[in-house]
Amino acid sequence: MHQDDNDFDFTKQAADYLRKAGEREGLSSGIRSSHAHALVAAALGYGSRKAMLDDPEGPYLKDQWLSREAGDIQKVKEAIERMQKAPVQPDQAEMIARIIQDGLSPGCVECGEHSSCSSPLGYVQPGDEADWVCPRCASDDEQYGHCRCCGDDVLYRLEELDDQGLCPDHHGEFDLDPEEEADWESYIEYVQKDN
């Protein structure tokens, strides 16, 4: 997958995605590359792509988690207002920010779809590299599931979960040690004796 290339840039991916997906969603078919890059930078809170690239504390362009940082609708509106012959209107800023968030997301490992609602696989923290799965593919309960201990916020491939629905980190979580097992057997015997 091209996302592993050393020169991969999620902001370029988002600009390309905005140009293609924007047309499908009813935005102008003439969003030029420079306008798309300016809108992506704005969604990340910058006045221009150059300002974003020059910021030493700015976004790491290879970061799979950039979609979580995007969404500055006001900056997108401002960027549109500054554009000469803007191909989009300020009242479309919210839609544009949403499309950019999707475009900044890694493609689903199953279908390739970009969605800011995609989930990383496994217990990972922001900044960690991960495979991502879109909501539609994640709903396939024959392929994906959740660990009973990690909860619904962490998605796993089913083969990573044991027969009790536990991930490798929680495997054996509900197993009883010999002393606990003896206590339970004694309790069950006591309860059954009175009935």
Q: What is the mean pLDDT of residues 185-195?
A: 73
3-state secondary structure the chain: CHHHCCCCCHHHHHHHHHHHHHHHCCCCCCCCHHHHHHHHHHHCCCCCHHHHHHCCCCCCCCCCCHHHCCCCHHHHHHHHHHCCCCCCCHHHHHHHHHHHHHHHCCECCCCCCECCCCEEECCCCCCCCCCEECHHHHCCCCCEEECCCCCCCCEEEHHHCCCCCCCCCCCCCCCCCHHHHHHHHHHHHHHHHHC
Give the list of residues 6+ apart from residue 131 with CB closer than 8 angstroms, or none. 106, 109, 120, 121
pLDDT digits (tens, 9 = 90+) for 26-51: 776 678 899 999 999 999 999 999 99
Q: What is the mean pLDDT of residues 62-90?
A: 91
pLDDT at 76: 96
Give the list of residues 6+ apart from residue 34 with CB closer than 8 angstroms, or none. none
Full-model pTM = 0.79
As a whole number, the mean pLDDT across the chain is 87
Helical pair 33-43 and 93-104, crossing angle rounded to 10 deg: 90
pLDDT digits (tens, 9 = 90+) for 105-159: 999 999 999 999 999 999 999 889 999 999 999 999 999 999 999 999 999 999 9
Question: Cα separation of 24 and 79, whole Å?
Answer: 22
Question: Cα separation of 70 and 140, whole Å?
Answer: 28
pLDDT digits (tens, 9 = 90+) for 125-134: 988 999 999 9
